[in-house]
Amino acid sequence: MHPRQSFGSRRSILAAATSAAVVALVVVPGGPARAATDLISNPSFDNGVVAPWYAYGVTASEVRSDAVQAEAFCADVPAGTTNPWDAAVQLDNVPAVNASGYELSFRARATTDVVITAGFQLGAPGYEPVAMGNPALTAAWQTFTLSGTSPKDGTGSLVFQAGGKAAAFTFCIDDVHLLSGVEPPQYVPDTGPRVRVNQVGYLPGGPKGATLVTDTTTPLPWQLRNASGAVVRSGLTGPRGVDPTSGQNVATIDFSSYARPGTGYTLTADGETSYPFDISDTAYQRLRRDSKTFFYTQRSGVAILDSLAPGYGRAAGHVGVAPNQGDTAVGCQQPVTWLDDWTCDPAFRTDVTGGWYDAGDHGKYVVNGGIATAQLLGEYERSLRVRHADRRALADRTLRIPEAGNKVPDILDEARWELAWMLKMQVPADTDVSGLTPYAGMAFLKVQDDSWTGLPLAPAADPKTRELHRPSTAATLNLAAVAAQAARLFAPYDRVFARTLLTAARTAYAAAKAHPAVYSPDADGNSGGGAYGDSNVDDEFYWAAAELYLTTGRAEYLADVHASPLATADVFNVNGFSWNTPGPLARMDLATVPSRLPQREREGIRRSVVAGADKVVALQAHQAYGQPYAPANGMWDWGSNSDLLNNLQVVATAYDLTHAAKYRRAVLTGVDYVFGRNALNHSYVTGYGTVSSQNQHSRMYAHQLDPSLPHPPAGSISGGPNSSIQDPVAQGRLAGCTGQFCYLDDIGSWSTNEVAINWNSALSWVSSFVADLRNGDGC
* Catalytic positions, written as ranges: 361, 697, 745, 754
Distance separating alpha carbons of residues 551 and 509, to the nearest angstrom: 14
Interatomic CA distance for residues 729 and 701, integer angstroms: 18
DSSP string, 374-439: HHHHHHHHHHHH-TTS-GGGGSTTSS-STTTTSSS-HHHHHHHHHHHHHHHTBPPTT---TTTGGG
Taking a C-beta distance cutoff of 8 angstroms, is the pair 591, 601 a contact? Answer: no
Q: Which amino acid is at 126?
A: G
Q: How far apart are CA 505 and CA 484, in angstroms?
A: 5
Q: What is the 8-class DSSP label of residue 465?
A: P
Q: CA–CA separation, 400 vs 395, rounded Å?
A: 12
Q: What is the 3-state secondary structure (H, E, C) of 511-543?
A: HHHHCCCCCECCCCCCCCCCCCCECCCHHHHHH
Q: Is 15 in contact with 727 (CB distance < 8 Å)? A: yes
| Residue 607: φ, ψ to 5° | -60, -35
For the chain, give the longest Cα–Cα distance.
Answer: 89
Question: What is the Cα–Cα distance from 750 to 16, expressed in whole angstroms?
Answer: 11
Closest by CA position to 676, among listed 266, 359, 295: 266
Residue type, 114: V
Q: Which residues pair with 231 in a beta bridge?
A: 225
3-state secondary structure of 306: coil
Q: Can you give 36-90 as a three-state secondary structure string?
A: CCECCCCCCCHHHCCCCCEEECCCEEEEECCCCCCCEEEEEECCCCCCHHHCEEE
Q: Is 330 left (phi over 0), alpha (psi -120 to 50) or beta?
A: beta
Going by DSSP bridges, is the β-strand pair 277-279/201-202 parallel, antiparallel, or unpaired?
Answer: parallel
Q: Is 335 left (phi over 0), alpha (psi -120 to 50) or beta?
A: beta
Q: Which of 423, 425, 426 is nearest to 448 (CA)?
A: 425
**In angstroms, how far is CA 398 from the centroid of its own chain?**
25
Could you please report the per-residue DSSP string of 248-293? EEEEEEE-TT----EEEEEEEETTEEPPPEEESSHHHHHHHHHHHH
Q: Of 691, 664, 687, 686, nearest to 676 (Cα)?
A: 691
